[in-house]
Every structure is written in C-alpha cells, then in structure tokens.
C-alpha cells in the first residue's frame, strides 16, 4: 500500500523512532508562525473538519502496524495543526484499541484546547506536546500570527483547562525567537504560566532548520540553557539517529522529496533519517535540484534543502 497520510518512521529529536501521521493538507494551520519549518500557512483557519478521510488514515495505519514495526511513538504532526481534523479522536482510539503496544503522541500548538471536543479527543493519547511561545498578546501576534479572533489569553486558557484532567504525559514546548520572546518581561510571564499549567516537562526549543521568516535566527545554547534553568525545563537535544530506517518506497528520490516537503533537511539529515549512503543522497539531491524541485539554503548547521 502506498501511504498518503503516514510518513517515516523517522528519528525524532524528542520522541525517538516515530511514525508520523499527517491529518491536514500542506499548509493548513491555526497559526502562521515565523519559525515554522513547513513554510508559510496557505490556509490559516480555526475551522475543524475532516480534512482527509478518517477511514483512509485508519486503513493505512492498520496496514503498516500489522507488520509489527519497532517504534517509540506514533505521532500526530506534519503539515499543520492536527487537532483541526475532527477524526483525530477516532484515529487515536483505533490505535490504542487495535495496537495497544504502541504509544501515541500528539504535537499541537494549543490553539484549539478551549474546545471540549478537542480535549476529549486527546484523552486516550499517551503524550501530548503542546506549545506556548508567548503570553502577552503583542508577542503572540508577532511570533504565532494566528487566525482571526484567536488570542494569547485563549491559548493559555485552553492549556489550563486541558492539562489538569489529562491522564497522560504533558511536555510543554516553548520555542525561543531571539529578541522577541526572550525579554525579561515575556520570560517572567512564561514562568508564571508554566507554574500555573504544571506540565510534566518543559522543553526549550529554537530554530534548527530554515524557518518561514528568513530574519529569524536560532538562540545560542547559552541563552537556551539560561532560559531552561529559569523555567525549570530542558533544552531539546539533537535527533536520535542510531536506528536509522531504510525508506519504505523503492523510489529513493521520491522518498527524499517527500521528506524534504515536510521538513528542510541537510544531506547528513537525510542519510541518517533514511538509512542510505551519503553518496546516494547526494546523487538524488543533484537530480532533484536540477529539475527545479528543491533548492539549497545555507544555514548555521549547514546547507539545507527545501522544496520549491
């Protein structure tokens, strides 16, 4: 079966070997974050609906998981905000009922947690990783650029409603954008919010791949460590690459392009993610670049390739 809504498994910086589930078309989201590595949001919306067929996603999962792959997590992430999909609860319940050995994680920007249907849908998941990048409205608008009518206060309210009743693990992610949300005042507000939310872990992140706004740069490791200490958190580390997995598709170029469409990658990233030789990666990158399908971008960590 060719999978349209599953990707990976990939070595995740946070979750080990993770099978991704993408529930919305690229790039459908409640935010248009300046740092997003998936690119600009083309469908900025807060409307929940069945963006892709729930039954098709379940059929793909059933086919893949029946093979008994070695996974650390099955993760709802990808091209936009997964809680926009009205079938996410049904899909999570299918995994936990049919394949209970697998842990389920949901990465969410927290925008829809004020909706009781969203909160209920996430209850069977083992891990939820919600984001909170700003508490003040001004900083929230500068970083997250939300859909009309969505406020920083609502995002925080949703977290405060969801976390106390959630039985699984909560890892609150805070993405640091230098000179915007690392001021003394904003960090104080974030500190107060973390104390009120009381997540199991706080994870401090910053730019690792090219973001939407080319002016956004990564925070220094020293700054991240200082902020992590202040917020009682940890700095997110490098990707887990010791269990690189070969691509499912026989068409390596297609697999590389599909990977880059979801996240800009360096050649080293691709070799580790897909378990193929660097020379083979370089060969396919040259073909894809000459065909105008990808382009190189120089960043601090090296040359990244992103889809055109």
Residue 290 in any domain: the answer is: yes
Asked if residues 106 and 127 have their Cβ atoms less than 8 Å apart, the reply is yes
For residues 77 and 164, membership in a common domain is answered with yes
Over the stretch 14-71, which tens digit does the pLDDT of each residue have? 788 889 999 998 889 999 999 887 778 999 999 999 999 999 999 999 999 999 999 9
Residue 262 in any domain: the answer is: yes
Over the stretch 245-256, which tens digit does the pLDDT of each residue have? 444 444 778 778
Q: What is the pLDDT of residue 227?
A: 96
For residues 108 and 15, membership in a common domain is answered with yes
- Which one, of 211, 196, 192, 227, lies nearest residue 145 by Cα? 211
Domain count, the chain: 2
Distance CA 298, CA 308 (A): 15
Over the stretch 143-187, which tens digit does the pLDDT of each residue have? 999 999 999 999 999 999 999 999 999 999 999 999 999 999 999
Asked if residues 206 and 176 have their Cβ atoms less than 8 Å apart, the reply is yes
User: Taking 60 as the threshold, does the pLDDT of residue 243 lie above it?
Assistant: no
User: Tell me, what CATH number does 65's domain have?
Assistant: 3.20.20.70
For residues 124 and 154, membership in a common domain is answered with yes
**What's the CA angle centered on 251, arms 275 and 277, to 5 degrees?**
30
Q: What is the pLDDT of residue 32?
A: 95
- Which one, of 175, 232, 162, lies nearest residue 202 by Cα? 232
Q: What is the pLDDT of residue 166?
A: 97
Of 222, 242, 262, which residue sits at a domain end? Answer: 242
Q: Of 251 and 295, which is predicted with more confidence?
A: 295
pLDDT band at 240 (very low <50, low <70, confident <90, very high): very low
Residue 237 in any domain: the answer is: yes
Distance CA 58, CA 221 (A): 40
For residues 218 and 253, membership in a common domain is answered with no
User: Taking 80 as the threshold, does the pLDDT of residue 8 lie above it?
Assistant: no
Helix/strand/coil for 90: helix
For residues 96 and 106, membership in a common domain is answered with yes
What is the chain's Cα-based Rg? 19
For residues 215 and 72, membership in a common domain is answered with yes
Residue 201 in any domain: the answer is: yes
Q: What is the pLDDT of residue 232?
A: 94
pLDDT band at 83 (very low <50, low <70, confident <90, very high): very high
For residues 52 and 75, membership in a common domain is answered with yes
- Upstream peptide bond of 9 is cis (omega within 30 degrees of 0): yes
For residues 143 and 181, membership in a common domain is answered with yes
Tokens read off for 26: 């690229």
Q: b vs e for 292-307, b when ≥16 Cβ sit within 10 Å of the residue's Cβ? A: ebbeeeebeeeebbbb
Q: What is the pLDDT of residue 108?
A: 97
Of 204, 220, 242, which residue sits at a domain end? Answer: 242
Distance CA 244, CA 246 (A): 7
Q: Of 86 and 308, which is predicted with more confidence?
A: 86
Residue 1 in any domain: the answer is: no
User: Taking 50 as the threshold, does the pLDDT of residue 280 lie above it?
Assistant: yes
For residues 196 and 264, membership in a common domain is answered with no
For residues 185 and 275, membership in a common domain is answered with no
User: Tell me, what CATH number does 274's domain have?
Assistant: 1.10.10.10
For residues 229 and 256, membership in a common domain is answered with no
Residue 40 in any domain: the answer is: yes
For residues 200 and 275, membership in a common domain is answered with no
Asked if residues 260 and 293 have their Cβ atoms less than 8 Å apart, the reply is no
User: Taking 60 as the threshold, does the pLDDT of residue 228 lie above it?
Assistant: yes
Tokens read off for 225: 């460590």
Over the stretch 98-130, which tens digit does the pLDDT of each residue have? 999 999 999 999 999 999 999 999 999 999 999
pLDDT band at 223 (very low <50, low <70, confident <90, very high): very high
User: What is the number of helices (H) and of strands (E) in the chain?
Assistant: 10, 12
Distance CA 194, CA 88 (A): 27
- Which one, of 137, 120, 134, lies nearest residue 48 by Cα? 120
Give the pLDDT mean for 191-196. Answer: 97
Q: Domain of 75?
A: 6-242
Mean predicted lDDT score pLDDT of the chain? 88
**Cα dihedral 10, 16, 21, 24 sign:** negative
Tell me the whole-structure pTM to 2 decimals: 0.80
């Amino acid at each position: 079966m060719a999978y349209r809504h599953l990707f990976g498994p990939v070595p995740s910086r946070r979750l080990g070997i993770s099978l991704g589930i993408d529930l919305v078309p690229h790039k459908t989201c409640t935010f248009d974050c300046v740092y997003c590595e998936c690119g600009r949001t083309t469908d900025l919306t807060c409307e929940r609906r069945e963006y892709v067929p729930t039954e098709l996603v379940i059929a793909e999962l059933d086919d893949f998981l029946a093979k008994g792959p070695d996974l650390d997590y099955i993760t709802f992430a990808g091209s936009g905000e997964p809680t926009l999909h009205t079938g996410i609860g049904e899909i999570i319940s299918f995994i936990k009922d049919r394949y209970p050995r697998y842990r389920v994680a949901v990465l969410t920007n927290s925008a829809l947690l004020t909706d009781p249907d969203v909160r209920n849908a996430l209850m069977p998941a083992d891990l939820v990783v919600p984001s909170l990048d700003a508490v003040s409205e001004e900083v929230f608008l500068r970083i997250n650029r939300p859909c009309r009518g969505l406020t920083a206060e609502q995002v925080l309210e949703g977290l405060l409603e969801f976390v106390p009743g959630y039985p699984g693990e909560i890892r609150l992610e805070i993405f640091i954008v230098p000179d915007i949300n690392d001021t003394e005042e904003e960090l104080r507000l974030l500190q107060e919010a973390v104390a009120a939310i009381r997540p199991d872990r706080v994870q401090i992140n910053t730019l690792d791949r090219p973001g939407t706004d080319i002016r956004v740069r990564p925070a220094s490791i020293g700054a991240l460590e200082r902020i992590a200490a202040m917020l009682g958190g940890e700095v997110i580390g490098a990707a887990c690459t010791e269990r690189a997995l070969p691509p499912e598709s026989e068409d390596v170029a297609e697999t590389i392009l599909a990977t880059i469409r979801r996240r800009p990658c360096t050649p080293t990233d691709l070799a580790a993610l897909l378990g193929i030789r660097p020379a083979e990666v370089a060969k396919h990158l040259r073909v894809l670049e000459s065909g105008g399908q990808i382009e190189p971008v120089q960043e601090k960590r090296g040359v990244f390739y992103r889809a055109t």
